[in-house]
Protein backbone atom coordinates (compact mmCIF):
# COMPACT_ATOMS: atom_id res chain seq x y z
CA UNK A 1 0.00 0.00 0.00
CA UNK A 2 1.41 3.34 -1.04
CA UNK A 3 0.64 5.75 1.77
CA UNK A 4 2.43 8.72 0.30
CA UNK A 5 0.06 11.16 -1.35
CA UNK A 6 0.83 12.29 -4.86
CA UNK A 7 1.59 15.94 -5.45
CA UNK A 8 1.12 17.54 -8.85
CA UNK A 9 3.85 20.12 -9.41
CA UNK A 10 2.60 21.42 -12.72
CA UNK A 11 2.19 20.56 -16.37
CA UNK A 12 5.10 19.86 -18.67
CA UNK A 13 3.52 22.17 -21.24
CA UNK A 14 4.15 25.07 -18.85
CA UNK A 15 7.91 24.65 -19.31
CA UNK A 16 9.41 25.84 -22.56
CA UNK A 17 12.10 23.80 -24.27
CA UNK A 18 15.44 24.80 -22.78
CA UNK A 19 13.80 26.51 -19.82
CA UNK A 20 13.11 25.83 -16.15
CA UNK A 21 10.32 26.06 -13.63
CA UNK A 22 10.66 26.32 -9.86
CA UNK A 23 8.21 24.67 -7.47
CA UNK A 24 7.73 24.87 -3.72
CA UNK A 25 6.07 22.05 -1.82
CA UNK A 26 6.04 23.04 1.81
CA UNK A 27 9.70 23.44 2.70
CA UNK A 28 10.85 21.50 -0.33
CA UNK A 29 12.14 23.68 -3.15
CA UNK A 30 12.47 22.01 -6.52
CA UNK A 31 12.98 22.94 -10.12
CA UNK A 32 12.40 21.22 -13.41
CA UNK A 33 14.41 21.62 -16.59
CA UNK A 34 13.12 20.68 -20.03
CA UNK A 35 15.78 19.65 -22.54
CA UNK A 36 15.17 17.83 -25.82
CA UNK A 37 11.61 17.31 -24.64
CA UNK A 38 12.72 15.48 -21.49
CA UNK A 39 12.05 16.70 -17.96
CA UNK A 40 14.70 16.64 -15.22
CA UNK A 41 13.78 17.44 -11.63
CA UNK A 42 16.14 18.49 -8.85
CA UNK A 43 16.14 20.04 -5.42
CA UNK A 44 16.92 23.74 -5.60
CA UNK A 45 19.94 23.41 -3.37
CA UNK A 46 23.55 23.72 -4.41
CA UNK A 47 25.82 20.94 -3.07
CA UNK A 48 28.60 23.50 -2.56
CA UNK A 49 27.16 25.64 0.23
CA UNK A 50 23.56 24.50 0.38
CA UNK A 51 22.21 27.69 -1.14
CA UNK A 52 19.34 28.04 -3.59
CA UNK A 53 20.72 27.90 -7.12
CA UNK A 54 18.86 30.79 -8.70
CA UNK A 55 18.63 34.52 -8.12
CA UNK A 56 15.77 35.06 -10.54
CA UNK A 57 12.49 33.14 -10.77
CA UNK A 58 12.73 30.10 -13.05
CA UNK A 59 16.27 31.05 -14.21
CA UNK A 60 18.65 28.17 -13.54
CA UNK A 61 20.72 27.80 -16.69
CA UNK A 62 23.91 29.39 -17.93
CA UNK A 63 23.92 31.86 -20.83
CA UNK A 64 24.07 29.10 -23.43
CA UNK A 65 21.27 27.15 -21.79
CA UNK A 66 23.53 24.10 -21.75
CA UNK A 67 24.24 23.75 -18.03
CA UNK A 68 22.57 24.49 -14.71
CA UNK A 69 24.45 27.32 -13.03
CA UNK A 70 24.53 28.23 -9.36
CA UNK A 71 24.17 31.97 -8.99
CA UNK A 72 26.24 32.14 -5.78
CA UNK A 73 29.69 30.91 -6.85
CA UNK A 74 29.11 29.78 -10.41
CA UNK A 75 29.09 26.00 -10.09
CA UNK A 76 27.96 24.37 -13.35
CA UNK A 77 25.95 21.13 -13.47
CA UNK A 78 24.96 18.80 -16.30
CA UNK A 79 21.23 19.05 -16.96
CA UNK A 80 20.82 15.31 -17.52
CA UNK A 81 22.76 14.07 -14.48
CA UNK A 82 22.98 16.98 -12.05
CA UNK A 83 26.72 16.40 -11.83
CA UNK A 84 28.95 19.40 -11.16
CA UNK A 85 31.39 19.80 -14.05
CA UNK A 86 32.98 23.13 -13.09
CA UNK A 87 33.19 25.42 -10.08
CA UNK A 88 33.80 24.83 -6.38
CA UNK A 89 32.17 21.38 -6.04
CA UNK A 90 33.34 19.25 -8.99
CA UNK A 91 31.88 15.76 -9.11
CA UNK A 92 29.16 16.49 -6.60
CA UNK A 93 25.55 16.26 -7.68
CA UNK A 94 22.30 18.08 -7.39
CA UNK A 95 19.74 15.96 -5.55
CA UNK A 96 17.46 14.49 -8.20
CA UNK A 97 13.83 13.94 -7.34
CA UNK A 98 11.80 10.94 -8.53
CA UNK A 99 8.69 11.82 -10.48
CA UNK A 100 6.32 10.54 -13.09
CA UNK A 101 4.57 12.32 -15.93
CA UNK A 102 0.93 11.26 -15.88
CA UNK A 103 -1.46 10.87 -18.81
CA UNK A 104 -2.33 14.56 -18.64
CA UNK A 105 1.38 15.56 -18.81
CA UNK A 106 1.45 16.57 -15.17
CA UNK A 107 4.70 16.22 -13.25
CA UNK A 108 3.82 14.20 -10.16
CA UNK A 109 5.95 13.44 -7.10
CA UNK A 110 5.27 11.43 -3.97
CA UNK A 111 5.14 13.39 -0.73
CA UNK A 112 7.51 12.31 2.00
CA UNK A 113 5.71 10.09 4.49
Residues of the shown chain interacting with ligand FES in the complex, contacts defined by CB under 6 A: 46, 48-49, 51, 70, 72-75, 87-88
Closer Cβ to ligand FES, 49 or 101, answer by number: 49
**Shortest distance in whole angstroms from residue 88 CB to ligand FES:** 5
Q: How far is the CB of 62 from ligand FES (least distance, A)?
A: 13
> Would you state the torsion angle of the CA atoms of residues 4, 9, 10, 12, taken in this order, to the nearest 10 degrees?
-90
Shorter beta-carbon distance to ligand FES: residue 5 or 90: 90
CB of 53 to ligand FES, least distance (A): 7
Nearest to 68 by CA among 88, 42, 37, 91: 42
Nearer CB in complex with ligand FES: 84/109: 84
For residues 22-49, one letter each, b for 16 or more C-beta atoms within 10 angstroms of the residue's C-beta and e for the rest, the string is bbeeeeebbbbbbbeeebbbbbbbbbbe
Amino acid sequence: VNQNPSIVLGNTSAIDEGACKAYAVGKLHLFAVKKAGNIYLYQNRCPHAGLPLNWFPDKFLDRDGELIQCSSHGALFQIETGRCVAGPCPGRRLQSIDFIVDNDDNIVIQAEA
